[in-house]
Amino acid sequence: MSAVGAKPQAGGAMDMPATIAGIILLLVIVGATYFMVGPGLMFMALIGIIIGGLAIAFGVHFVPVGGAPAAMGQAPGIATGVAMLAAGAGLAGLFGGAWAAEQGLVVAVVTGAVGGGLMMAITCMFVTFIYVFGMGIPCASGKVAKDPISGDTQAEFKSQGNEGHGLPFVSYVGGVIGGLLGGGGGTLIYIMLLDVYKEALPGMMQALPAQVLPIAVSLAGIFAIGMFLVNAVLTAYNITGTIEGPHDPKFKRFPRALVASAVASALCGMVAILIVAM
């Protein structure tokens, strides 16, 4: 879609039949997993994976992404794709979270969240740096008259013939929140799967826990990255192109992505758990 066509459209209405079908599908997948593995570590892992997926899908909506128009200073946001940037931040968080995995679930998830937030904080700061010092362009939003956080007026700082440019402060904060949620969600999925694999693989492969640890870590890591991309790409479809951050009317579409993400995470989680459960 061109920047001309990207007029603010809320489009946040939920399609009720699709939503109900999604919720039924989710319940069926969760029920089937419960039936196959019973209550316990594996079932709790599935719930954790769904929560992690929801955090990623919600977080991606916060990330200000301007796509191709942003690269020409025609629209605000970061000049890259939604799924790309969210994946970069979330995986940087996963890197930190996986490192802290042995310090417990809460510390690892918060470490992952802060890792994702830090990646976005640095990246967004450099985006502003390039716009201001490299291109001489101040930041201006095209969707709101005033920045909801700083209160700065936006319209007079928008250059002629385009929709705004750079990252107004609300977009910066949105980027950091998106990184926090993405990093935390990705790490939660990783920890949940790691616990399942550490528990199930020694019996399955007739080996000592220390011997299967590298396999458990690799398997959990690759599944966590895969599920991260599933949720990020699903959300990118919901956003359709570009979004400025939490103040953008498109942000209101997030409930749709949450339903879709819950179903997708549950299905992926079920597959990831069943490879060692059956």
Residues 48-67 that bind other proteins (CB under 8 A): 67
Residues 172-231 that bind other proteins (CB under 8 A): 172-173, 176, 214, 217-218, 221-222, 225
CB closer to other proteins, 126 vs 237: 126
Count of residues near other proteins by CB under 8 A: 85
Could you say whether residue 148 binds other proteins (CB under 8 A)?
A: no
Task: Please state the closest distance from residue 185 (CB atom) to other proteins, in A.
Answer: 15
Could you say whether residue 79 binds other proteins (CB under 8 A)?
A: yes
CB closer to other proteins, 37 vs 100: 100
CB closer to other proteins, 48 vs 115: 115
Q: Which of 62, 131, 197, 254 binds other proteins (CB under 8 A)?
A: 131
CB closer to other proteins, 33 vs 154: 154
Show Cβ contacts of residue 243 under 8 Å, excluding neighbours closer than 6 positions.
Answer: 61, 63, 64, 65, 77, 82, 250, 251
Q: How far apart are CA 172 and CA 175, in angstroms?
A: 5
Q: N- to C-terminal Cα distance for the chain?
A: 45
CB closer to other proteins, 70 vs 268: 70
* Binding piece for other proteins, criterion CB under 8 A, among 27-35, 41-49, 52-60, 165-173: 165-173
Beta pairing partners, 65: 78, 243
H-type helices in the chain, by residue range?
16-37, 41-62, 67-71, 82-99, 105-129, 169-205, 209-239, 254-277
Q: Using the 8-state DSSP alphabet, how is residue 155 labeled? A: G
Angle at CA of residue 106, ends 273 and 91, nearest 5°: 65
CB atoms within 10 A of CB 169: 18
Could you say whether residue 235 binds other proteins (CB under 8 A)?
A: no
Q: Which of 88, 174, 182, 185 binds other proteins (CB under 8 A)?
A: 88
- Our CA dihedral for 227, 262, 187, 200, rounded to 10 degrees, sits at -80
Could you say whether residue 1 binds other proteins (CB under 8 A)?
A: no
